[in-house]
């Protein structure tokens, strides 16, 4: 089978636009959470979210007309900018490709909500202003499947155009799908990653009803996302896009591309337990890690860092920590295991891509980023979460963990280029 490498990364994150800004903020513990501004929060118990407030990158999307902008969901410009940044790092000019080159590049992305933000906005226009004011693109732009098509159309890429939507594991599964597609020799290069922008009144009300989001730190928004704390009370909505150029190693070498990392393993399981909760044993989460390690032909003793799912919900953080112990045993105490969501909230279907981006940057900088807002240890969460302050740490191989509603588990393993 082919070896699969990462040659480009791009990021649009609540705590930084561009991969370097995202990394600098993440490494130093800068939070992107704040009071919600995307809608009037009066009727919503949770008034905190991690929004992408700096939209100045839109100025660089010169190929988008004002008409284009009115026909796409909020997530798409984020995805396009992150794709452009990833391509530039990989040494690819998307605007100058030949037709034959365009046929060798496909798109596989993960998104949980897709265009639900666009759809919710159009329904509100319909109810308040009448059907005549509704966009004719209301249905099409709301489909989750359009997320990849917008990227293909923007850059005229004729390869495959697929969206994986498995909830919070969407982008991990998209990356796993892309990894397998390239190593089986079906296509030499893919644009892949995660995209999400679903901070809406309707969705937040729904999650408040479920009791899965934090509703008790509205006055101190920077401290609201607090994974693994004894007093955690739920996740904080996030949004953004984290995109990658994945390609077959020999293809990258022939182009003279700089190889940032190699993806070596992917594992996925389902607890088959509950629509919202994960199974209390953590066995299937642990098995997903074992599958990924076996796929990578690596042992637990070779993992130097774990990017945890770490949403700050009571049950998930406890069971995820237990699952890590099932896999790594006593060595779990020696592995830095932090949650990027403490700084960027939970970007739903883009969570795995955000975690992979932070992990590759951590590997390249030999620096384990922190879990911020870590104040009150929970005896049921007893790993090394790199509390509050990041630290130097040699990272040659790392694991990125993801868990989703519907009791899904997905794991990626990445290592330093060899």
pLDDT category at 226 given cuts 50, 70, 90 is very high
* pLDDT reported for residue 198: 93
d(CA 307, CA 314): 18
**Other CB atoms within 10 A of residue 54 CB:** 13
pTM of the model: 0.96
**What's the mean pLDDT when you consider all of the chain?**
95
Q: Are 103 and 159 in contact (CB under 8 A)?
A: yes
> In the predicted model, is pLDDT for residue 238 greater than 90?
yes
- Please write the tens of the pLDDT for every residue from 338-395: 999 999 999 999 999 999 999 999 999 999 999 999 999 999 999 999 999 999 999 9
Q: Please say if the pLDDT value at position 117 is more than 90.
A: no
Helix (H) or strand (E) holding 128, with range, is helix 116-129
- Out of 2-6, 43-47, 364-368, pick the least confident: 43-47
Mean of the pLDDT values across residues 241-251? 98
Shared-domain flag, residues 207 and 313:
no
Q: Are residues 286 and 233 in the same domain?
A: no
How much is the pLDDT for 407? 86
Residues 243 and 288 in one domain: no
Q: Give the residue-averaged pLDDT of 40-65.
A: 94
Structural domain of 324: 269-415
Nearest to 353 by CA among 410, 287, 296, 295: 410
Stretch 278-305: mean pLDDT: 96
Same domain? For 115 and 163 the reply is yes
- DSSP state at residue 157: -
Which range among 66-70, 212-216, 226-230 shows the weakest confidence by mean pLDDT?
66-70
* C-beta separation of 37 from 53 below 8 A: yes
Nearest-angstrom CA–CA distance, 349 and 230: 26
In degrees, rounded to 5, the angle at the alpha carbon of residue 91 between the alpha carbons of residues 100 and 93 is: 50
Enclosing H/E stretch for 314: helix 314-328
Alpha helix locations (H) across 329-380?
341-344, 351-365
Number of domains in the chain: 2
Q: Are 165 and 53 members of one domain?
A: yes
Enumerate the active-site residues.
168, 309, 346
**pLDDT tens-digit readout, 293-302:** 999 999 999 9
pLDDT of 174 > 90? The answer is yes
What CATH number should be reported for the domain holding residue 353? 3.40.47.10
**Same domain, residue pair 256 and 296:** no
């Amino acid at each position: 089978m082919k070896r699969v490498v990462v040659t480009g990364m791009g990021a649009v994150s609540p705590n930084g636009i561009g991969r370097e800004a995202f990394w600098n903020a993440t490494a130093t513990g800068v939070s992107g959470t704040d009071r919600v501004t995307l809608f009037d929060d009066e009727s919503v118990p949770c008034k905190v979210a991690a929004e992408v407030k700096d939209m100045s990158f839109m100025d660089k999307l010169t190929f988008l007309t004002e008409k284009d902008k009115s026909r796409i969901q909020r997530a798409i410009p984020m995805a396009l900018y992150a794709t452009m940044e990833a391509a530039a790092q990989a040494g690819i000019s998307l605007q100058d490709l030949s037709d034959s080159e365009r046929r060798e590049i496909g798109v596989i992305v993960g998104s949980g909500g897709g265009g639900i933000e666009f759809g919710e906005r159009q329904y509100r226009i319909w109810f308040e202003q009448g059907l005549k004011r509704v966009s004719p693109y209301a249905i099409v732009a709301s489909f989750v499947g359009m997320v990849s098509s917008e990227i293909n159309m923007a850059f005229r890429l004729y390869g495959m155009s697929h969206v994986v939507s498995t909830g919070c594991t969407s982008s991990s599964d998209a990356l796993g799908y892309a990894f397998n597609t390239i190593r089986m020799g079906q296509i030499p290069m893919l644009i892949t990653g995660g995209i999400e922008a679903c901070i809406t009144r309707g969705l937040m009300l729904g999650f408040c009803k479920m009791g899965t989001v934090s509703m008790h730190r509205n006055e101190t928004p920077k401290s609201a996302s607090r994974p693994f704390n004894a007093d955690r009370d739920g996740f904080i909505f996030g949004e953004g896009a984290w995109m990658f150029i994945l390609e077959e190693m020999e293809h990258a070498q022939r182009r003279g591309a700089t190889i940032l990392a190699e993806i070596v393993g992917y594992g996925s399981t389902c607890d088959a337990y509950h629509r919202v909760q994960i199974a209390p044993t953590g066995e299937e989460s642990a098995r997903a890690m074992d599958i990924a390690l076996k796929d990578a032909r690596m042992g637990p003793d070779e993992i130097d860092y774990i990017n945890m799912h770490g949403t700050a919900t009571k049950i998930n953080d406890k069971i995820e920590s237990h699952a890590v112990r099932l896999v790594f045993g006593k060595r779990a105490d020696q592995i830095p295991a932090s949650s990027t969501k403490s700084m960027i909230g939970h970007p739903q279907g883009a969570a795995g891509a955000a975690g992979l981006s932070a992990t590759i940057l951590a590997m390249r900088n030999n620096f384990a980023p922190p879990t911020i807002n870590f104040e009150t240890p929970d005896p049921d969460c007893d790993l090394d979460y790199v509390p509050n302050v990041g630290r130097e740490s040699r990272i040659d191989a790392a694991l990125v963990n993801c868990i989703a509603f519907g009791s899904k588990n997905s794991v990626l393993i990445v290592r330093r280029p060899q």
